[in-house]
Structure 1
Amino acid sequence: MNAPAPSVPDTVGGAARTLPVRGGVGLKPEHFREILATGPDIGFFEIHAENYMVDGGPFHHYLSRIRERYPLSIHGVGLSIGGESPLDAKHLDRLAMLLARYQPESFSEHLAWASHGDVFLNDLLPVPYHAETLARVCDHVDQVQDRLRRRMLLENPATYVEFAASTMAETGFIAEVVRRTGCGLLLDVSNVYVACVNHHRDPYAYIDSLPADAVGQIHLAGFARDIDAAGDPLLIDSHGAPVAQVVWDLYRHALARVGPVPTLIERDNDIPAFAVLLAEAHQAERSMREAAAPSIVESLSCGICA
């Protein structure tokens, strides 16, 4: 078994960078002009890396101006960290150029695969959890962190099927990747809820099983409901609806375990008015303040007792 990896710093060119512990939203073209015109009170924006892997154009024009005013998180969807094929060196080079250009406070990717050989799929697919996959994922994470010269966050997946070949629990697999590579964890609370409902597991126990000190960011999103072939509920990670109350409840449990961390509202379909997303980001901030309050009260009480 590999020895524990040294901590990988969240740096670009030697300068430490962190997202503010606030709510953020995904940056959408529909909102570019409004954001620049109104300067909303928001913690940060996040983009999908693959939407910006070109030299110029309107996306870069607006992102450059918004980046001057706000912290930035970049979220990748195309590295295929869990894939059997080697990482795409050209894709990784383009990603490195994008990060060098904007120097985001955070970079994250998915525990999933999306390509096989020269075939690229428009989806994020699950992996079996066993020793062979673990070694491959750790090797890929190491390569990404070495090339980008920064710590990456790895996102837990939303899944609809599982592999009979798996010999490890998903949370144990993730914890071992974190231990071996020094990467961080992007805790997608919505993905936890979707996957646990689909596989008849307890989402609260799932969160309790993760390495809390590795969580560097949280994602919240909406989901859609369907029924599978057996007549059981099937949740789809649609990113096309407001965050459900059951996910807000699970989010508060996560905050009680990991403490307040930067939290993103994801909305990639049926994009609403910016004010709707901003309100959800502010709701996340209220939950963070409530999670922090008990520790402040306890600290004050201890000081009085002393």
Structure 2
Amino acid sequence: MQSDTLSNPKFGAASAVPKLPGAGLKAEHVAEILEYRPQIGFFEVHAENYMGAGGRPHQQLTAIRDAYPLSLHGVGLSIGGEQPLDKKHLQRLADLNRRYEPGLFSEHLAWSTHDTTYYNDLLPVPYDEATLNRVCDHIDEVQDFVGRQMLLENPSTYVAFAQSTMSELDFLKEVTRRTGCGLLLDVNNVYVSCTNHARSAESYLADFPVHLVGEIHLGGHAPDVDEVGRPLLIDAHDRAVDDEVWALYETVIQQNGALPTLIEWDNDVPAWPVLLKEAQAAGEILSRAAEAEYRAAG
């Protein structure tokens, strides 16, 4: 069963975020949130949106931080890239962690840089020994520099690498063993990847080390087909969570207990009440699990 904090002996407790639903913070929603103070567990922000020194974004985030716990989610560190980590980017991440003291701090298992080029995509990595060593070295560097534990998010993938010598799950498990990092379980990414590779999402989740998970992500995906007409899903974050993803999520929560759960909706962002309704749907699943746990303990 997941404890109240996901701890690493080197860095201490990593989670002050409650086991409740949260939502990604969007600038167009801030005024409404601050006026009505909705009952929601936490907000998550993309670190790269707050790497300036000041201005309105920081004014808004400070006001939100005064009222709600925060989760800081990075999308541009390029943990899986072959190049050394960008020291200036790493310093800005450390500064944000000190400034806002988020309950959770996470990054993606992906790469997004090559030479001096930065891509807007989170690109996949091969699961082999060379990549494993590089990713572990990068995570060690991040955790040492920032001075806290990082959660690593499982990716959504569309291709598999011929040079991979281990499964994604074995790769993630070995990364956590070597570095002491935690995991961010994106259930939508699991469903997208397993559909694209004709694998079982249920089997993947049954073997996932949920005891190392500090946060769960849920989001929407866009259906498509590949060049031969097979189903292809795109991790679009532009719509409501799919029914199949909700079902997978409920199974994870029923079997493992409540965890902080974020609704991601980054493109075609709806009005705040729509996003809040999605978070409330996650909250209902979390409440049912808590009630079941209470009855079992009584």
Q: TM-score if structure 2 supplies the norm length?
A: 0.95
Which residue of structure 1 lines up, in the alignment, with residue 21 of structure 2? 23
- 1:289 Cα deviation from its structure 2 partner: 1.7
* CA–CA separation in structure 2 for the residues paired with 1:37 and 1:61: 15
Q: Between Structure 1 and Structure 2, how many residues are aligned?
A: 291
* CA–CA separation in structure 2 for the residues paired with 1:131 and 1:121: 25
1:125 maps to a residue whose letter is L
- 1:279 Cα deviation from its structure 2 partner: 1.2
Q: Decide whether aligned partners of structure 1 residues 10 and 266 sit closer, same or farther in structure 2, where only a CA change above 3 A counts.
A: farther
Query: Conserved in 2, the CA contact under 8 Å of 1:19 and 1:44?
Result: yes
The correspondence for 1:200, drawn from 190, 198, 201, is 198
Segments of 5+ residues of structure 1 without an aligned counterpart are 1-5, 301-306
Structure 1 segments (4+ residues) deviating >6 Å: none
Segments of 5+ residues of structure 2 without an aligned counterpart are 1-7
Question: 1:38-91 deviations in whole A, cap 9, x for unaligned?
Answer: 111111000000010001121111111111010000100011001111111110
- 1:152 Cα deviation from its structure 2 partner: 0.6
Give the number of the structure whose alpha-carbon radius of gyration is greater.
Answer: 1
* CA–CA separation in structure 1 for the residues paired with 2:58 and 2:12: 24
Q: Does 1:37 align with 2:35?
A: yes
- 1:209 Cα deviation from its structure 2 partner: 1.3
Identity %: 56
Question: 1:90-128 deviations in whole A, cap 9, x for unaligned?
Answer: 100011111111111100000000002211111000000
Q: Decide whether aligned partners of structure 1 residues 64 and 24 sit closer, same or farther in structure 2, where only a CA change above 3 A counts.
A: same
Aligned ranges 1:201-240 → 2 under 5 Å: 201-240=199-238
* CA–CA separation in structure 2 for the residues paired with 1:147 and 1:9: 11
Q: RMSD of the alignment, in Å?
A: 1.2
- Partner of 2:215: helix, strand, or coil? strand
- Partner of 2:163: helix, strand, or coil? coil
- Partner of 1:68: helix, strand, or coil? helix
Aligned ranges 1:105-254 → 2 under 5 Å: 105-254=103-252
- Partner of 1:81: helix, strand, or coil? coil
* CA–CA separation in structure 2 for the residues paired with 1:295 and 1:248: 20
- 1:288 Cα deviation from its structure 2 partner: 1.1
* CA–CA separation in structure 1 for the residues paired with 2:247 and 2:10: 32
- Partner of 2:177: helix, strand, or coil? helix
Which residue of structure 2 lines up, in the alignment, with residue 3 of structure 1? none
- Partner of 2:80: helix, strand, or coil? coil
Query: Conserved in 1, the CA contact under 8 Å of 2:51 and 2:92?
Result: yes
* CA–CA separation in structure 2 for the residues paired with 1:162 and 1:74: 29
Which residue of structure 1 lines up, in the alignment, with residue 4 of structure 2? none
